[in-house]
Structure 1
């Protein structure tokens, strides 16, 4: 039976960075990537030093090419559907449905996915509507922008941020009311707020032009930022019986260790919230260092 040192599930920034660190540590690993990374819908990725403006597909291709230079790294473009712990042998079994793999340690780096307040947002997401001002605010600077958020705290917070990139800003809550204090804060900065439900988004090839409300109001906007809900698209951490906190984040020690010995986590998978490529890659490298040290200590 071929037992790997580590299996990395997820080939985004966190998983790829972890795989690179482990490969350079001469660990025999498999990295699974089914190309469902959250940023695949965007045109450019920003904020990663030396890679600012790169397309997600190019970022992925460069990463995979670098991993191929290390003979102990196996890359599988497949989806993991089940993980099991063999307590007797202190190993883990990973299944893709057609194939099974056995490993001493596991790193979960599958990331998260978005759920939008309006289904129509998907048509514009990554082209003229975004979730992160730090990632896309520069490209949207000084344009007539929208903030779409169904939670008062999020709407207020995002408006404060986006206002830094454009003073031509309108807030849409899609039916949720705002407190007098929040409205006064927005009014003071000449930011109009609409609490009427949104009926339709108008635009062409993903570029927003107007937001239509249910009362017939049409508001011209050229793009904006939205607060989605984030969720894990798989239950691998649940299958392994990792401990979660009240917010749904996987409990770790800050270096990638979960409550289950031999199971590690990195990137957006850990907190079930968004992260930049740079921070996710750093998480992956840190978790890989923990894995390598634990393996080294065990075999010393």
Structure 2
């Protein structure tokens, strides 16, 4: 069987793409290894009618809705490789199963690489987050830290200051702020700690203290971090898809990459905020692009 589309990845982008293509009567395989980036998150926010939902519940509801459309097959597997085979693509999964497809939607999201700070994983997703729009409300008016080793430190600090007036920045031994940025932060009472962080301390996932290598400490009750984002899969790269400076696949408004028949959706084509609702919208757009192009192909024959 040759699928109209194989969707690689079952996060909000892939799930929404599967829903739209199912409603468009397309034969679709949604292949997902059930290892979502937001697995550490207790709640998802910013999605109207679903504000505060657990990610696992969101996926459960989505799978139930997709199941209404018999042309969509959901496969629990991991795609390892994809190659063009004439007019079609051949995808190989970890199980050894192969899939033939007329088009591919890359919805594998992005992988987070957190700063190498001892203990950071124990707090990530509980009291330390990466998106103020997702979790700033829950941390409002607390003493917060921004942990950042990259050029996004200043922007993150500015953004987080919308939710609290009690904030400091820790760059873990890196000098990532310009003098102008340091002055702007200082003028607003936001201290900058450039000392190396030894560890994070707290209990039950609740951050309480930043411990520096010189033995000094700073109290806080939560905060935000700017992780490095990278593609978790080499499928797009092996197919020749170009990426933007932030690691996302370059795609047009309907998800089309520079490779005909290959589309990118959600965080896979990341160029701005990483948000549940934006990822889902990206899945809709990519599905619309796939369907429109398949219609044009049929009418051209």
Which bracket does the TM-score occupy, shorter chain normalised?
over 0.9
Give 1:273 deviation, angstroms: 6.2
Pick from 156, 162, 165 the counterpart of residue 164 of structure 1: 162
Equivalent residues in 2 for 1:142-181, closer than 5 Å: 142-151=141-150, 153-177=151-175, 178-181=177-180
CA contact under 8 A between 1:230 and 1:273: conserved in structure 2? no
Query: Aligned pair in 2 of structure 1 residues 69, 193: CA closer, same or farther (>3 Å)?
Result: same
Query: Aligned pair in 2 of structure 1 residues 154, 244: CA closer, same or farther (>3 Å)?
Result: closer
CA contact under 8 A between 1:112 and 1:272: conserved in structure 2? no
3-state SS, counterpart of residue 11 of structure 1: coil
Q: Deviations over 1:105-157 (max 9, x none)?
A: 11110000100112432211100000000000000001110011113x42211
The residue that corresponds to 2:90 in the other structure is 93
Query: Aligned pair in 2 of structure 1 residues 117, 94: CA closer, same or farther (>3 Å)?
Result: same
List alignment gaps of at least 5 residues for structure 2.
none
C-alpha separation between the residues in 1 aligned to 2:2 and 2:158? 51
The residue that corresponds to 1:242 in the other structure is 241
C-alpha separation between the residues in 2 aligned to 1:180 and 1:32? 48
Give 1:170 deviation, angstroms: 1.2
The residue that corresponds to 1:205 in the other structure is 204
The residue that corresponds to 1:112 in the other structure is 110
TM-score if structure 1 supplies the norm length? 0.95
CA contact under 8 A between 1:109 and 1:267: conserved in structure 2? yes
Query: Aligned pair in 2 of structure 1 residues 173, 246: CA closer, same or farther (>3 Å)?
Result: closer
Give 1:243 deviation, angstroms: 2.6
CA contact under 8 A between 1:92 and 1:102: conserved in structure 2? yes
Q: Deviations over 1:20-51 (max 9, x none)?
A: 00000000111011112111111100000100
The residue that corresponds to 2:25 in the other structure is 26
Equivalent residues in 2 for 1:1-300, closer than 5 Å: 2-87=1-86, 90-97=87-94, 98-119=96-117, 120-151=119-150, 153-177=151-175, 178-271=177-270, 274-300=273-299
CA contact under 8 A between 2:244 and 2:271: conserved in structure 1? no
Give 1:248 deviation, angstroms: 3.8
Q: Deviations over 1:266-296 (max 9, x none)?
A: 1111137652111111111011011111111
CA contact under 8 A between 1:230 and 1:272: conserved in structure 2? no
List alignment gaps of at least 5 residues for structure 1.
none
Q: Deviations over 1:211-239 (max 9, x none)?
A: 00011111111100011000111100012
C-alpha separation between the residues in 1 aligned to 2:152 and 2:204? 28
CA contact under 8 A between 1:128 and 1:223: conserved in structure 2? yes
Aligned length: 296
CA contact under 8 A between 2:2 and 2:100: conserved in structure 1? yes
Give 1:182 deviation, angstroms: 2.3
C-alpha separation between the residues in 2 aligned to 1:6 and 1:182? 47
CA contact under 8 A between 1:148 and 1:226: conserved in structure 2? yes
Query: Aligned pair in 2 of structure 1 residues 244, 188: CA closer, same or farther (>3 Å)?
Result: closer
C-alpha separation between the residues in 1 aligned to 2:245 and 2:129? 27
Report the more deviating stretch, 153-162 or 135-144.
153-162
